Structure 1
């Protein structure tokens, strides 16, 4: 049985994520214990909230160094994805630097910010999106986004075409909440569980 760990650093309600994993027939452990995280088969790095305070918590717990050095498949969700980047404009925050990318704020005056609700994703690549169709709708809540880049494996449009998912080596991240994105989101979580190490 896969040992799946959800990193606990006090940002956001992860109950819906735990329930989504259970519905797929897996169990998960919510923990900030370094040895538990390092020994997991799959690591999920969630997050809702402000980048600067989240990074301070990770650093205080020593989790920043741990996450960067993980060798098993790691999935960042929402703020978790953004914190995998080098820098975020939110609070001028230095991130984990796993991806050499910046997180910037939506700037169009015609947009309602944050983006809240369902939006289509496109340009789907890699096994993370297996059995998920182009233009599927996923649920998003965010004011900041990752710009298009060479590690992008999916995109979305909200006044600008941006990177809604990326992957490099064992690390992948999604801006949307798969646990709140119905059947397609659960398919993505299942695909993550089935990724080859």
Structure 2
């Protein structure tokens, strides 16, 4: 049976590369998946899975999402009420938080009890943004989305801010950059990656394939 993945188009994110990565991961895993790039709330409601990308500042991304009529409500209904699997990428992950502290204080979707604040490496020689390849330290290898991904696998990051969940059990994998930060978070049918799986080669494709197989 064909599954539809709604890739949310709200003016933020590497949509073409994310779509290609989703399609490639599905093909290589032998999954019957249609990726639908959409700004239509009704298409989101009909989707079997939802992916929210995000690039740039927290407030800009949240504002872009709110500017699509009915989209925030459709996401709430599809993801939180009907419990369809959800993947947030980079700022798309951060938007699940209650609040973001980037250029002021801005409300997020509030799906997770978490705040988004600046990366503050203990080593002043480490540059911000954190950009490039770094290791994933898998905290909860039993989570289906991390199945078969070895500890210390490399993923590609580009960010200056990170999510800080109030509940540490939400953190599925960490990354170290002058101190640990949340690289993968999850709860129930929600999962998010601070890194870009669409740019993370084998590690990213493995995580996407796991997400497409996942039935929380």
TM bucket normalised to smaller: over 0.9
**2:128 alignment partner, SS class:** coil
1:188 has 2:188 as partner: no
- State the superposition RMSD in angstroms: 1.3
Please give the residue correspondences for 1:53-64 in structure 2 after superposition, counting only pairs within 5 Å: 53-61=60-68, 62-64=70-72
Deviates more, 1:105-114 or 1:115-124: 105-114
Cα drift, residue 159 of structure 1? 1.0
Gapped runs of 5+ residues in structure 2?
A: 28-32
In structure 2, the residue matched to 1:30 is 37
The number of residue pairs the alignment matches comes to: 197
Paired residue secondary structure (1:57) = helix
Q: Counterparts of 2:201 and 2:14 in 1: how far apart (Å)?
A: 17
* Shift of residue 147, structure 1, vs aligned partner: 2.4
- Aligned partner of 2:73 in structure 1 is 65
Query: Is the 2:14–2:53 Cα contact (8 Å) retained in structure 1?
Result: no
How far 1:44 sits from its partner (Å)? 0.4
| In structure 2, C-alpha distance between the alignment counterparts of 1:178 and 1:13, rounded to whole Å | 11
Separation in 2 of the partners of 1:179 and 1:106?
A: 22
Q: 1:118 aligned to 2:133?
A: yes
Which residue is 2:151 aligned to? 134
TM-score, length-scaled by structure 1: 0.95
8 Å Cα contact 2:42-2:74 kept in structure 1: no
Structure 1, unaligned stretches of length 5 or more? none
Query: What's the secondary structure of 2:138's corresponding residue?
Result: coil
Give runs of ≥4 in structure 1 deviating > 4 Å.
Answer: none
Q: Please give the residue correspondences for 1:1-197 in structure 2 after superposition, counting only pairs within 5 Å.
A: 1-24=2-25, 25=27, 26-61=33-68, 62-69=70-77, 70=79, 71-91=83-103, 92-108=105-121, 109-125=124-140, 126-147=143-164, 149-197=168-216
Q: Matched residues in 1 for 2:193 and 2:153: separation?
A: 14
